[in-house]
Each structure stands twice: as structure tokens, then as C-alpha cells.
Amino acid sequence: MSRTVLCYHPQGAATLHELSTTVLNIVPFTNLEESNQALFKSASGEESVVITLDTIFHPQGGGQPSDTGIMRMQTNNSNFEISAVRHDSIDKGRVLHFGHFTTDEKFAEGDSVTQTIDHDQRLYFSKYHTAGHILGLAVRDLLSKEIPNFSEKKASHFPGSASCEFEGSIDGKHKAAIQAKVDEYCAKALPVEVDWWEETDFAENNEEAPDPSYLLPGDTKFRVIKIVGGGAYPCGGTHVADTSKCGKITVRKIVRSKGASKVSYSVED
């Protein structure tokens, strides 16, 4: 089966909250491969997975939770509530929409359906994801040349547990400066742009190239999120239009362990 087209990927498309598409397959949860069943921890066994030609639903990954929402049949009242979305563990290009039908009538292969995501939740997750990039850039800007063995490791943008992790020991005395730099980025309303880079583009822009395994099947370029005037990250997630749209970002605490540091944050409207 061909890969799912990610319609939220182009510039500005993260604000697309409804999409007409075509059903390619419906799979009862119990018929999924074991590795795909393991992606959905809350499954009761009564759910199904719907695979479509394209999607506006962001699958969980890259530190961002998945979208939720509904799919509706365009010619009758068939309704499928989506509670989780994941990339297929076997066919990496496919997106699995997990949920349950709330009507007796169900979809069939080839049916036209309308996808609708939870708009408020998408915006909330987008704010958190952009805020994580802002925090990472702030720490990089302030401390990359000051902290021995400094490098950026990974980040989680889940509300309630959001943080960025760094190689190197970041002392708590830097918290105020990091907060001030984060506030500065937000106050400037720096544009957040989508770009597509070859591996060589990273060196030309003084950015570290990601592992090629980051690429989805069929891709030859990396999707990059640029905070204009700040820096860039390879990223498949959704974001707000500029840094001011995040609301108030609070640097919560810095925790150090075994030569690495975790800087946690929260976002308020």
C-alpha cells in the first residue's frame, strides 16, 4: 500500500482542520500485526484502524502527541471517532487512524470521507511544539560555547511533561538568563517557516545534520522548521505561525544527571 500523504506538512497547512479523502482500508484492531497493536496501549480490542489516501491527522511522534477527531462518510451518517494516530510500525509511510465507529454503518474501501481534527487541541499541541524549539534555541544561543561537551539531545512537547534535554551540565544559575532569552524570542514574533533541506544544506546553514533514518520512505529531503532569526530543527510536527503565538512560555526547572541536563517548560495562553 502506498504511503499516506501528510497534508499538514506544507507551509501554513497546520491550520487545515478539515479534509476530504478516500478510504484505502479498514482493519479491525484484532487483525492488526502484533507490532501495530502495541502502538495503541489503551485498546480494548473492539476498535478499528482506518487507513486513508491522505490525512490531516498528526501521528504521535517527534515528541508531539497525536491529533484526535472524527471521520464522517460524505453520503450517509457513518461516523468514526479517532482517539489516537500512529505511523505504521511495518510500513513506515502509512498512517493508522485508531478509534471506533459510533454508527451501525461503517466505511468501505473506496468511500469518500471527511476528516475533522480537534482544532483547539491541535493549536495547543502546536504551541507546545514551537515553544520547545524556542527553548532549545535559547539554550543553544546562550550556552553552546560555555558548557563543556554541549549538544542537543531530544525533546518532549507533551503538555505536563514538556522538556528539552542537553548533553552537558547546565547549572541552575542559568535559568533566569534562559527565561529572558525565551521571552525575547517570543516578543520578537519571529516567523516560523517550513523548508525542505538536502543533507548538505545543514552544513551551509551551520546546523547539525540529522540521521538519515529520520527520513520517511520516499523522501529525499528533510522537513525543517525554521524560526527566522533563531535557528532550525529537522521536524515533522505542527507549529504556530510565529513565536508570539505560543503565549507565555515558562522555564520551570533544570535537572542534571550523569553529565546531561533536562530543562522543563510549560505554556500558558
Residues 101 and 132 in one domain: no
> Of 99, 117, 135, which one is at a domain's C-terminal end?
117
Residues 143 and 238 in one domain: yes
Residues 210 and 148 in one domain: yes
In whole angstroms, give the CA distance from residue 214 to residue 254: 28
In whole angstroms, give the CA distance from residue 155 to residue 23: 34
**Model pTM score:** 0.95
| pLDDT score for 1 | 61
| pLDDT score for 92 | 84
Residues 110 and 127 in one domain: no
- Sign of the Cα torsion 252, 133, 128, 214 reads negative
CATH code at position 73: 2.40.30.130
> Of 85, 101, 117, which one is at a domain's C-terminal end?
117
Q: Which of 22, 5, 6 has its CA nearest to residue 14?
A: 6
CA-based end-to-end distance of the chain: 41
**Nine cell digits for residue 16:** 487545515
> Of 86, 117, 148, which one is at a domain's C-terminal end?
117
Contact 158, 65 (CB under 8 A): yes
Four-point Cα dihedral 39, 58, 262, 230, nearest 10: 160
Long-range contacts of 35-40 (CB under 8 A, 24+ apart): 35/89, 35/90, 36/86, 36/88, 36/89, 36/90, 36/96, 38/89, 39/84, 39/86, 39/89, 39/96, 39/98, 40/84, 40/86, 40/98
**Nine cell digits for residue 69:** 477527531
Residues 155 and 245 in one domain: yes
Per-residue pLDDT of the chain (269 residues; tens, 9 = 90+): 688 999 999 998 988 999 999 999 999 999 999 999 999 998 998 999 999 999 999 999 999 999 999 999 978 889 999 999 999 999 988 999 999 999 999 999 999 999 999 999 999 999 999 999 999 999 999 999 999 999 999 999 999 999 999 999 999 999 999 999 999 999 999 999 999 999 899 989 888 888 887 777 778 899 999 999 999 999 999 999 999 999 999 999 999 999 999 999 999 97
- The count of other CB atoms within 10 Å of the CB of residue 39 is 20
Residues 252 and 137 in one domain: yes
Please report how many Cα atoms fall inside a 13 Å half-sphere around the Cα of residue 171, on the Cβ side: 5
Residues 126 and 255 in one domain: yes
Four-point Cα dihedral 73, 85, 249, 144, nearest 10: -140
Q: What is the three-state SS of 225-268?
A: EEECCCEEEECCCCCCCEHHHHCEEEEEEEEEECCEEEEEEEEE
CATH code at position 142: 3.30.980.10
The structural domain count of the chain equals 2
Residues 160 and 188 in one domain: yes
Residues 138 and 264 in one domain: yes
Structural domain span for residue 197: 122-268
C-alpha distances out from residue 23 to 103, 113, 123, 228, Å? 17, 7, 26, 38
- Sign of the Cα torsion 117, 120, 124, 126 reads positive
| pLDDT score for 208 | 83
In whole angstroms, give the CA distance from residue 60 to residue 76: 30
Instruction: Please count the residues of the chain.
Output: 269
Residues 69 and 158 in one domain: no
Residues 179 and 151 in one domain: yes
Residues 110 and 185 in one domain: no
